Amino acid sequence: MTCSRRLAGGFSLLEVLVSILMLGAGLLGAAGMLMTSLRSASESAVFSAAVDLARDLSEKLRANTAIAARNDATNPYLLALGAGDAAPASALACLGEASCNAAQLAAWDVHEWALRVQAALPEARLVVCFDEAFARAEQGVWACTRTGRTLAVKLGWTPRLGPKAEADGAASPPRLVMQLSSGHDGDGHGPEGF
């Protein structure tokens, strides 16, 4: 009887060491999952901000269709900014009681919107252009066809999903491509085919 009590009396040092190693591995796995969850939540918030910014620009375009439908140099809504570029300047702030014509309002809209994009998206890149191929397989390309009826916005930013994703951020395709509005031909300045 004495022999069987001694065998069942407790854990050996080896069993305690194995259980501590298993607990440590489980805690490391849980910490890794928590970090991945936090990064994904942060990226989701940035993507939601990008969608909201694209919708905001779409509303500005619909409010100023006389300028937005033009596919030429007189349309300040057509722009391309890289990660370090400055927002386009506006000579006049069209706020409150200031009376602005359509072109001044468009310049102010672009200036204010580009500043908001740069503040909300890390290392933001953006293109607003007429692009026939925005919804096809070529949508990952920053270049635009500059033809057609579709005015599109392409937004990109450096994701915070780990070192490899951050290193590839500058060369990555747009993370959001959205149709802002179909062009209009009201003033004769729209692209051909309207």
| Surface-to-core class of residue 110, CB atoms within 10 Å of its CB (0-12 exposed, 13-18 middle, 19+ buried) | buried
Q: Where are the domains of the chain?
A: 45-182
Give the pLDDT confidence score for residue 55 in this predicted structure.
93
DSSP string, 119-135: HHSTT-EEEEEE-TTTT
CA distances in angstroms from 115 to 69, 112, 122, 125, 139, listed in the order given: 23, 5, 12, 12, 24
What pLDDT, on a 0 to 100 scale, did the predictor assign at position 143? 83
Q: What is the C-alpha separation between 131 and 156, in angstroms, rounded?
A: 17
Dump pLDDT digits (tens) for 137-192. Answer: 555 578 888 888 888 899 999 887 655 555 554 567 888 888 886 554 444 444 44
* Separation CA 171–CA 167 (nearest Å): 9
Q: What is the per-residue pLDDT for 77? A: 92
pLDDT at 54 over 80: yes
Contact 123, 142 (CB under 8 A): no
The most confident of the ranges 45-59, 125-139, 168-182 is 45-59
